[in-house]
Copies of this chain bind each other. A is one copy, B any other.
Amino acid sequence: MPDPRVAVVGATGAVGPEVLAILAERGFPAAEVVPFASARSAGSRVGFAGEQLEVRELTDDSLAGFDLALFSAGAATSRRYAPEAVKRGCMVIDKSSAFRMDPQVPLVVPEVNPEAADSHRGIISNPNCSTIQLVVALKPLHDAATIKRAVVATYQSVSGAGKAAMDELWDQTKEIYVLGPSEPKVLPKQIAFNVIPFIGAFKDDGYTDEEHKMWNETHKMLDPDIKLTVTCVRVPVFVGHSEAVHLEFERPLDEAEAREILREAPGVMVVDKRDPTGYVTPKEIQGEFAVYVSRIRKDPTVKNGLAMWVVGDNLRKGAALNAVQIAELAHERGLLGRKILA
Contact = CB atoms under 8 A, between A and B. Distances in A.
Given A149-B302, A195-B155, A276-B188, A297 B235 contact: no
B282 A194 contact: yes
A100 to B, nearest CB: 21
Nearest to A202: B274
Count of chain copies: 2
Contacts of A205: 297-298, 300
A159 to B, nearest CB: 11
A261 to B, nearest CB: 16
15 contacts: A173-B173, A189-B284, A193-B283, A194-B281, A195-B281, A197-B309, A198-B295, A201-B276, A202-B276, A202-B278, A206-B274, A207-B297, A229-B301, A235-B235, A236-B237
A174 interface: yes
A151 B207 CA distance: 17
A269 interface: no
A113 B334 CA distance: 68
A173 B177 CA distance: 10
A32 interface: no
Interface string A157-181: 0000000000001000110010000
A283 B194 contact: yes
B235 A295 contact: no
A277 interface: yes
Contact size range, A: 35 or more
A255 interface: yes
Contact of A206 (B169, B246, B281, B295): B295
Nearest to A239: B193
Contacts of A153: 153, 231, 244
Contacts of A89: none
A295 B231 CA distance: 9
Contacts of A196: 281
Contacts of A246: 151, 229, 231
A174 B174 CA distance: 8
B255 A206 contact: yes
Contacts of A174: 177
